[in-house]
Amino acid sequence: MSKSRCSVALMSSVVATAKEANATGPKAVELVLVKEQNGMQLTNSTLLNPPQSPAQAQDRETWSKKADFLLSVIGFAVDLANVWRFPYLCYKNGGGAFLVPYLLFMVIAGMPLFYMELALGQFNREGAAGVWKICPILKGVGYTVILISLYIGFFYNVIIAWALHYLFSSFTTELPWTHCNHTWNSPRCSDARSPSSSPDPNDTFRTTPAAEYFERGVLHLHESQGIDDLGPPRWQLASCLVLVIVLLYFSLWKGVKTSGKVVWITATMPYVVLFALLLRGVTLPGAVDGIRAYLSVDFHRLCEASVWIDAAVQICFSLGVGLGVLIAFSSYNKFTNNCYRDAIITTSVNSLTSFSSGFVVFSFLGYMAQKHSVPIGDVAKDGPGLIFVIYPEALATLPLSSVWAVVFFVMLLTLGIDSAMGGMESVITGLIDEFQLLHRHRELFTLVIVLATFLLSLFCVTNGGIYVFTLLDHFAAGTSILFGVLMEVIGVAWFYGVWQFSDDIKQMTGQRPSLYWRLCWKFISPCFLLFVVVVSIATFRPPHYGGYIFPEWANALGWTIAASSMSVVPIYAAYKFCSLPGSSREKLAYAITPEKEHERVDRGEVRQFTVSATLPA
């Protein structure tokens, strides 16, 4: 009896010592019986799969509160596309029937990929490039997503500048897009397609005050002949862009300590405004017709391939995977944070927000359709045209229109800011984790990044800036993002290994991912992404803006931009392979083996060379 108590006491002391030595997460301690001497059992302990060193974990900055992280992720994932893209896709693709492929792809691809990125960043505690110490040859994937995030910043900040311009213009008794009596209006402008107007065979050539305000009053598009005639930057938009850049800098310069506070406003405000707009929208005449059109179920549309393709692409882009943002944000989590629960919460909130915003959008579209006695299809559109033309036109017809316009553009501003913050944080974290010199001068490096973004964004606020914007939107953030996510999931599931990745998650959360998640990472998600990449290339259509067709050199430039990010993967892989010592087999072994396992490679043990088709339970 006493011998048993002594043995248990000794084991407890060994375990306690191990816990104190590294308290960053749950541990597995192997106790081995060494010998029995004088009636006492002596044991030896070994820490299995130890997490990262305590020094590294302690040096890493962490979120002040768990809510800061959740709001940052939700704020990034819920962006302008939730308002201007999802509702239109739902309406166009069979209404409620569209939810079938959308929810299916969310469960088999969206959630698993989101979960994977959160876990990847949290365990390795580094940005998008640094996490690839799990498979050094694929570090180029990290640089690819950083480059894509930087490209997106060149044009995404311009949308926020447009919203800011509209916000300033809303502080007036009469909104400037209400009538055609302004200097920027053309003879084609017709004051609202009002029911009292007599039919005119030339109506198809007329434009509304809202459309002319956006294209002529804000963009000054009429002063440009095309992308080869950009003209100078418009000082009004450039000034708004400066304010956006200043706001971004002071939100990011101190890291998550400052950005985590900003998102308490930028991530919550859109929900308050959406609720207010919903209450106002459902009281408008024709709102019920609009909502009915939004939700009308046409299951026959599910037989069309385009519906499934739209759902698959929407899932990939709406959650923000493949941009390095989720990895960067989660790298500042505490090691033992429950990233699984975070993934479920944030993806669910994102989908519910997209679906709910449809009620807001289509209540106003139904009102506009009834007011102008036209089918809803004539007023329903997606993209900037919805939030900068159709919605402002609807708001201009309401009592207290200026107040509602201010509320609406404040929502757009906050929706855009936290998404832009996420993209910039991906670039900053990804690079300062790689280069210690940048880490020591984060504030200065952040200034360099936002200034570079500003200078290149100036091309998008020229007279022909909308053409540059369209080109970047079409090429910089399309197939390249899908390619980046595909390489990412292949690297984690097939090179690093699903079983090892599951071990990492167990160290953090104390529980191994279920067989479902491992199957998704290993087989379902890669196949899904491969399908989407192939489809996006096969169904490629050259960009256009209205009736303007881009010249061939512009399309070539667009593909060059897309290829510049994707090419980083093979270029870095070739560089890494050639720079390693040894034979070709040894080079490959070191290139695909996690850095922490290189000692095993020296002994000739390379688990990646062991073929296994099983997924242990």
Annotated binding site for Na(+): 75, 77-78, 82, 318, 350, 415, 418-419
Spell out the alpha helix ranges (H) of 539-597. Answer: 552-566, 568-579, 584-592
**CA–CA distance, 507 with 511 (Å, rounded to integer):** 8
Task: Give the sign of the dihedral formed by CA 198, CA 203, CA 208, CA 209.
Answer: negative
H or E, element range at 157: helix 139-169
Task: Read off the tokens for 222.
Answer: 């009429």
Task: Answer yes or no: are the C-beta atoms of 522 and 569 closer than 8 Å.
Answer: no
Backbone angles phi, psi at 254, to 5 degrees: -100, 10
Angstrom distances, CA of residue 51 to CA of 19, 23, 550: 12, 9, 52
**CA–CA distance, 45 with 30 (Å, rounded to integer):** 5
What does DSSP assign to residue 50? -
Radius of gyration of the chain (CA): 27
Q: Tell me whether strands 544-545 and 548-549 are parallel, antiparallel or unpaired.
A: antiparallel
**CA–CA distance, 15 with 191 (Å, rounded to integer):** 79
| Residue closest to 412 by CA, chosen among 385, 387, 393, 439 | 387
User: In the 3-class helix/strand/coil scheme, how is 307-357 assigned residue by residue?
Assistant: HHHHHHHHHHHHCCCCCCHHHHHHCCCCCCCCHHHHHHHHHHHHHHHHHHH
Task: Read off the tokens for 445.
Answer: 């490096």
| The residue to which tokens 């990044």 are assigned | 449
List the binding residues: 75, 77-78, 82, 318, 350, 415, 418-419
How far, rounded to the nearest angstrom, does the alpha carbon of residue 51 sit from its chain's CA centroid? 28
Spell out the alpha helix ranges (H) of 433-551. Answer: 436-440, 442-457, 465-475, 479-490, 498-509, 515-519, 525-538
**CA–CA distance, 315 with 106 (Å, rounded to integer):** 6
**CA–CA distance, 94 with 101 (Å, rounded to integer):** 11
**CA–CA distance, 114 with 120 (Å, rounded to integer):** 10
Task: Read off the tokens for 354.
Answer: 């997209």
**CA–CA distance, 103 with 260 (Å, rounded to integer):** 30
| Residue closest to 95 by CA, chosen among 281, 283, 294, 303 | 294
**CA–CA distance, 435 with 432 (Å, rounded to integer):** 5
Q: Quick check: helix, strand or coil at residue 276?
A: helix
**CA–CA distance, 355 with 86 (Å, rounded to integer):** 7
| Residue closest to 323 by CA, chosen among 210, 476, 481, 182 | 481
Count CB neighbours of 68 within 10 A.
22
